[in-house]
A and B are shown apart, each in its own frame.
Chain A
Amino acid sequence: MAKVLVIEDEELMIKALEFRLKKDGYDVSLARDGAQGIEMLSKATYDLVITDIMMPFVSGLEVVSHIKGSPVLKNIPVIVLSSIGLERVVMEAFSLGVDDFITKPFNLGELVIRVKKFVNQTNVFN
């Protein structure tokens, strides 16, 4: 069962993602801010990370930078969710090594398909 970490501060969003991904058979872990997310990454291995960008104190981009900068974590695919589709932010995210960038409002089904793609890629890679 693939392990997915969801980092999001909005309660409804995190619950919706949790229920939907669990329904599709993923083992979902939740973090409600960037700092908690980084802590959880140090304690367990994940096949995919989904993170929001705009979070207080430790932003999603900092989390991405932490993941992609670490020799242990850098191969974990990261999907970023954002309500800001500003070109500069998108470019910054991709330059940090983000694997996919989704702007809100987004299609939940489409996200699930992308999650499947990245998880399968990781499994093939492994």
Chain B
Amino acid sequence: MEAFSFESFLNFGIFAYVCLFICFSVVTIVLSSIEISRYKRKNRYETFKPLLVSPFAPSVSVIVPVINLRTSIVDTVRGLLALQYNNFDIIVVIEGNSDLHLIELTKFYQLQSARYSSLTHIKTQKINGCYRSANPVFSKLTVVNKTSGGRADALNAGINISKSDLVLCMDTDCFLDQDSLLKMVKPFLEEREQVISASSVVHLANSSEKKDGHLLKLKFPKNILAAFQAIEYLKIFVIKRMAWSNINGIPLFSGTVNLFDREVLIESGAYNSEALSPDFELLIRMGRYMHDNAKRYKLAYIAEPVCRIGVPENLQILSRERRTWNGGVLQALRLHKNLFLNFKYGRLGLLNFPVCMLSLCTPYFIILLLILIVAGAFLSNINLEFAGILLFTGYFFSVLMSVITVLYEESSFRSYTSGRDIIKMLLLGFVEPVIYQPMVLYWQITSAFAKRIK
């Protein structure tokens, strides 16, 4: 009798998880396809040319913190200066000991010391110097040198100095398409609710040809770890974030490139320099601020890739990065735990937050199930055939999700034009649930314990 109920319990547990996983995935796919279709239909007939020439285009500051950069900063800046937009400036914030970058920029762009004024007083580490170019051709560029304080602190320094309506916060490993600003600014002008932030689909830049800060052609990464991440990024940006955007939610994965309404960002308190995932934590705070002030808002999502990013190809660096992100998400959720099921915060508290928390619980549930299966197998208490069927269902469904992701990418953006790249992605879908996803689960779980031990 006991064995029967343990086996039933285990089988029911796996069945419930598999069902939930399937339902959740189907809902995500449906929401995502609605969103892609909506975006494509809306923008099929629009041209960005009026925004390019308009005197009413909102001003944008592109803020780039330079931290531990091993390559040349000049190329990054050159790529940014070529952005097609009427009204923007670039603020490069060099942290701490990166004198080499400052010297390089000074030489290339004829920088001179400049004074600055700031009406906002976000607390940051000390600013050691501010520089602008003597050459009017580079009048868009401002370089700030400050004491080390981390990425969030550097962004805050840039926000302090900026006088624009919008701020684009990015990293040095991002390559923006030339029309990226046009595409990201547009939602701020066409939505009925106030748009407080805009982000976009992100593809990988690894293995792609680069020249003068531009990416020439997108190629599927050669490195296996980067290849897995390419599929993962597609799943995150093409499916999950698209679905979140449909319900105006803050996705767990909020980093890379974000365009913010500067005023709302400052009123919300700007970046938290203690946060491990500063963008995610900031978006929650901005959402809270809007709810607290009874203002309707929208988090815009550009359903096409305007940015490419380089990802780690080294396992150690990748695992450290992932542990930091996951730790950051946990930290942010803990910090704002009073949002959980709080009616005052509408969708943010009733839907967004619980779903984020559920997503974070998934790895634990999977580990628990696996432990039970192994235990059951040793005690010969479970029907291995049933357990196998359930596990295979989970596996093939996971493969189906990867393959559907590739299908979405094919039918909407076609960024990977080579047939070979598509075949690689489709085949990797079979390997990914077995090799890469367990690694991701492992990082998710260890990041939680690492935080606790800390």
Contact = CB atoms under 8 A, between A and B. Distances in A.
Tell me, yes or no, whether A and B come into direct contact in the complex with CB atoms closer than 8 A.
Answer: yes
B52 interface: yes
B86 interface: yes
Contact of B52 (A56, A59, A84): A84
B82 A88 contact: no
Interface string B49-87: 100110000000000000000000000000000100010
Q: Is the interface of B mostly helix, strand, loop or mixed?
A: mixed
B214 interface: yes
Interface in B195-247: 211, 214, 216
A92 B82 CA distance: 13
Interface string A28-67: 0000000000000000000000000000110100000000
A92 B135 CA distance: 13
Contacts of B82: 59
A84 B82 CA distance: 16
A83 interface: yes
B216 A84 contact: no
A72 interface: no
B78 to A, nearest CB: 11
A84 B214 contact: no
A86 interface: yes
A86 B86 contact: yes
Contacts of A88: 86
Contacts of B137: 92, 95
Contacts of A84: 49, 52-53
Contact of A57 (B49, B53, B214): B214
B436 to A, nearest CB: 33
Interface string B18-53: 000000000000000000000000000000010011
Interface string B381-392: 000000000000
Contacts of B216: 57
Interface residues of B, number: 10
Contacts of A86: 52-53, 86
A26 B181 CA distance: 41
Interface string A79-98: 00001111010001001000
Nearest to B54: A86
Contacts of B178: 56
B53 to A, nearest CB: 5
B89 to A, nearest CB: 14
A93 to B, nearest CB: 12
A61 to B, nearest CB: 9
B294 to A, nearest CB: 40
B269 to A, nearest CB: 36
A86 to B, nearest CB: 5
Nearest to A65: B137
B39 to A, nearest CB: 22
Contacts of B211: 57
A92 B137 CA distance: 8
A22 B287 CA distance: 62
Interface in B143-182: 178
Contacts of A57: 211, 214, 216
Contacts of A92: 137
Interface string B178-190: 1000000000000
Interface string B434-453: 00000000000000000000
A57 B212 CA distance: 10
Given A57-B214, A84-B53, 8 more contacts: A57-B211, A84-B49, A84-B52, A85-B53, A86-B86, A88-B86, A92-B137, A95-B137
16 contacts: A56-B178, A57-B211, A57-B214, A57-B216, A59-B82, A83-B49, A84-B49, A84-B52, A84-B53, A85-B53, A86-B52, A86-B53, A86-B86, A88-B86, A92-B137, A95-B137
